[in-house]
């Protein structure tokens, strides 16, 4: 699987969920840089969100070799993914985001889930990993 960093950012600009994938065998020493780039790209996402009514805003930012794709829900929650080097097609990224959106709505519907809190559920994590394996 390609090196990627996936984050769900809530309405108050706080990260609710983060997941990092590394290509096999490589030591990951750039995690902080990736986080920093993703947070910087939130500004770009905010600019773009007023211009389009679409949920999926394809590639929003590029930095050196990293490219960032974003997806926005109706409740202004952002799903961001940062790719290191090779990127899959827009379609498969879009499908990945749509499935994550479904999982996200299911988590929200849980009455014990405090809104805008981090998502700790291990089943959510395993499902996201399955989706990454399938689409990315």
Partner 1 sequence: MSNPAKQRTEVAASTLELLHSEMVEYTTNDSKYSSHKEKAYTVLEDMGFKVGIRLGERLTRDKGRFADNLDTIKFICKDFWSECFKKNVDNLKTNHKGTYVLHDSKFTYLTRLSLSTPEETANAAKNHVVFSCGIIRGCLSSLGVEAFVTAEINALPSVLFKVIEISRQ
Residue 40 in contact with partner 1, rule: CB under 8 A: no
- Return the closest-CA partner of residue 104 out of 83, 122, 77, 68: 77
Nearer to partner 1, 106 or 129 (CB): 106
Per-residue string for binding with partner 1, 113-132, x by CB under 8 A?
Answer: --x-----------------
Q: What does the CA dihedral 107, 80, 21, 39 come to, rounded to 10 degrees? A: -110
Q: Classify residue 84 by burial, with Cβ atoms within 10 Å: 0-12, 13-18, 19+.
A: buried
**Which residue lies nearer to partner 1 by CB, 33 or 55?**
55
Backbone angles phi, psi at 10, to 5 degrees: -80, -175
Size of the site for partner 1 (CB under 8 A): 18
* Residue 4 Cβ vs partner 1, minimum distance, rounded to whole Å: 24
Q: Which CB atom, from 89 or from 115, has the smaller least distance to partner 1?
A: 115
Question: How many Å from the N-terminal Cα to the C-terminal Cα in the chain?
Answer: 7
Binding site for partner 1 (CB under 8 A): 49, 53-55, 72-76, 101-102, 104-106, 108-109, 111, 115
């Amino acid at each position: 699987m390609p090196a990627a960093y996936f984050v769900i950012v809530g309405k108050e600009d706080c990260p609710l969920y983060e997941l990092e994938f590394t290509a096999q065998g490589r030591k990951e020493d750039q995690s902080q840089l990736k986080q920093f780039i993703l947070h910087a790209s939130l500004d770009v996402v905010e600019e773009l969100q007023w211009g389009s009514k679409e949920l999926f805003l394809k590639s929003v930012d590029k930095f050196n070799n990293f490219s960032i794709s974003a997806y926005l829900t109706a409740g202004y929650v952002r799903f961001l993914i940062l790719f290191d080097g090779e990127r899959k097609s827009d379609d498969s990224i879009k499908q990945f985001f749509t499935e994550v959106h479904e999982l996200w709505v299911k988590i929200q519907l849980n009455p014990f889930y405090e809104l805008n809190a981090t998502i700790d559920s291990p089943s959510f994590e395993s499902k996201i990993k399955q989706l990454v394996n399938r689409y990315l």
